[in-house]
Amino acid sequence: MKQLKLTGFIFFLFFLTESLMLPTELQDLDNFNVTQKFIEENVEYITIITFAQYVQEATFEEMEKLVKEMVEYKDSCMANSMLPKCSKLPNDVLQEAICAMEGLPQKHNFSHCCSKADAERRLCFLYNKKADVGFLSPFPTLDPEEKCQALENNKESFLNHFVYEVARRNPFVFAPTLLTVAAHFGDVAKSCCEEQNKVNCFQTRAVPVMQYLKAFSSYQNNVCGALLKFGTKIINSINIAILSQKFPKIEFKELISLTEDVSSNYDECCEGDVVHCIHHMSKIMNHICSKQDAFSSKIKECCEKKIPERDQCIINSNKDDRPKDLSLREAKFTESENVCQERDADPDTFFAEFNFEYSRRHPDLSISQLLRVVQMYKDLLRNCCNTENPPDCYHYAEDKFNEATEKSLKKIQQECKHSQNLGKDGLKYHYLIRLTKIAPQLSTEELVSLGKKMVTVFTTCCTLNEEFACVENLADLVLGELCGVNENRTINPAVDHCCKSNFAFRGPCFESLTAHKTYVPPPFSQDLFTFHADMCQSQNEELQKKTDRLLVNIVKLKYEVTNEELQSLLTNFVNAVEKCCKAEKDEEKLVCFNKESPKIVT
């Protein structure tokens, strides 16, 4: 991974053997050493990621000061590795260094975290992360020629700046993902700077890298949000469903062990413990690669790669083929006479196994639907096991599951048909209006972003064979973004209830929401609806953004207006732009906009 290898300090080296659980098997030792070498070679990136995610407001120059301080720390540990400070946890060392930077905690409002210690301080830094990065300036963009000049002048500084800017805007993205993105971007920059048409090269090759980042950011934010709001138990359920679909031939005992490891890894990665996140993830992937026959036939090429590409490749790999000898249903959960006794003996293991057996038999279902089926089964047994003849009661469980799934499937099919009838713009306006009405407290930029992502859900999924799973899985990521990562995020009582009451039923809960009844519209601001001649210079994409923001602001202001009236106001705006931009002089355009604007906001 040439683009990631950087010279610098190796401050983790001396205390990792103290702070991490040491490997016991020869194969584990080999993987530990490989991972350790990777960390040593990329420790500067790791420091940048940790600092930028914890203190998003910090400047690049402040980050460089921390790097310098950590070099001094490294030097002292190299001179005497027996010093007490050299045996501390990596994350604790870094947080202590951040807190010790003169004036930094006060300047960036995290001094309350620095007054705590150990686990309390780590949690405080976690809760201090801000998923909504509207307070940061727009992501800096350079002309391709400027990019290439910066790369040529100082490649290390160029890539460090990139990692810093990406990490502070994605505070919950796991370090291995950010390192992979950095490596790919480095490859793209190097290659494109050798091309004659640099602009086209960057547009073609850099976009997929950023889309990759956005996809993983959305998923990892959702996982971390679920962890903080619902705890490890729901994370285990999610992972059982995901891993069972991905590795349908895995043994249940192996699955439980893997699930516990993955859930524990999420705990570390969400917290921002970069070193443990990398080590633990690498250990998990090494275990999977050491037992490929037991896991999947789809990961052979992935396991030949180096970290972190290997790890990301396995995560992205396709679901394995369903075993030919796997029956359509597992009889022990609906036809056994002893279901209630087995449930009572060990409820957690019993329902985990049901989740496993049902999920690996239904790769076409969404994770939320699988979790809803598990909840339905729990509710059914709670009732059936109190009757005189439980087997007669739960014998028809599979039929009930199928009915519920069929109902959800038809709903998705109807939504796909509706989205195709509306068209891309109509669908976007539909969701901008709906999202603003149920969560008007969100910022205009947040609502525009969420609306755009809901459009992506349907334009991406509704032509696929597995449209049901695709729509629900992607829509759930959008809802996860709406709900936010931190458990103390509050929007309004109805939305908060959907976000925090039941992860599996979050989608249906949102579908049932209507306009927020107690919302008080903001005072009218003419500035929001004052249009200037430069509107006519806007490119199509920029004009579309302005149109989207206008619609959200109109909905917030005219909250009781019907969707049809809102659509009419939007049409008035489009017509006004088209009419006024035909004027030759800017003064004439401005007069026209002043005349037409009352038709939009009154």
- Residue ending a domain, among 276, 305, 321, is 321
Label residue 138 exposed, middle or buried (CB < 10 Å: 0-12, 13-18, 19+): exposed
In this structure, are 58 and 89 located in the same domain? yes
Say if 180 falls within a structural domain: yes
In this structure, are 234 and 118 located in the same domain? no
**The pLDDT of residue 201 is above 70:** yes
The pLDDT, as a whole number, for residue 541 is 78
d(Cα 477, Cα 226) in Å, to the nearest integer?
11
Which of 333, 318, 423 lies closest to 385 in space, CA to CA? Answer: 333
The pLDDT, as a whole number, for residue 433 is 92
**The pLDDT of residue 6 is above 70:** no
Of residues 18 and 281, more confidence is placed in 281
Determine which of 112-121, 500-509, 520-529 has the lowest per-residue pLDDT on average.
520-529
**The pLDDT of residue 203 is above 90:** no
Give me the amino acid identity at 407: K
User: Tokens 């005189």 sit at which residue?
Assistant: 388
Say if 403 falls within a structural domain: no
Q: What proportion of the chain, given as a percentage, has pLDDT over 90?
A: 52
**The pLDDT of residue 504 is above 90:** yes
d(Cα 133, Cα 557) in Å, to the nearest integer?
24
Into how many domains does the chain fold?
4
In this structure, are 66 and 197 located in the same domain? yes
The CATH number given to whatever domain includes residue 186 is: 1.10.246.10
Q: What are phi and psi of 403, to 5 degrees?
A: -60, -45
The pLDDT, as a whole number, for residue 81 is 73
> Where does the pLDDT of residue 26 fall: very low under 50, low under 70, confident under 90, or very high at 90 and above?
very low
CA-based end-to-end distance of the chain: 59
> Where does the pLDDT of residue 30 fall: very low under 50, low under 70, confident under 90, or very high at 90 and above?
low
Question: Which two structure tokens, joined as six digits, stand for 378?
Answer: 């729990």
In this structure, are 136 and 232 located in the same domain? no
In this structure, are 496 and 542 located in the same domain? no
In this structure, are 100 and 200 located in the same domain? yes
The pLDDT, as a whole number, for residue 109 is 93
Rounded average pLDDT over 455-464: 90
112 Cβ contact partners less than 8 Å away, ≥ 6 residues apart: 124
| Residue pLDDT, tens place only, 59-98 | 999 998 887 777 677 667 767 878 777 777 778 888 999 9
> Whole-model pTM?
0.85
In this structure, are 52 and 191 located in the same domain? yes
**The pLDDT of residue 42 is above 80:** no
Say if 66 falls within a structural domain: yes
In this structure, are 264 and 142 located in the same domain? no
| Residue pLDDT, tens place only, 102-160 | 899 999 999 999 999 988 999 899 989 988 888 888 888 878 889 999 999 999 899 99
Say if 115 falls within a structural domain: yes
Query: What is the pLDDT of the chain when averaged over all its residues?
Result: 86
Say if 396 falls within a structural domain: no
- Name the residue range of residue 493's domain: 411-512
In this structure, are 284 and 311 located in the same domain? yes
Q: Is 268 part of any known ligand binding site?
A: yes
In this structure, are 72 and 188 located in the same domain? yes
Q: What are phi and psi of 135, to 5 degrees?
A: -75, -15
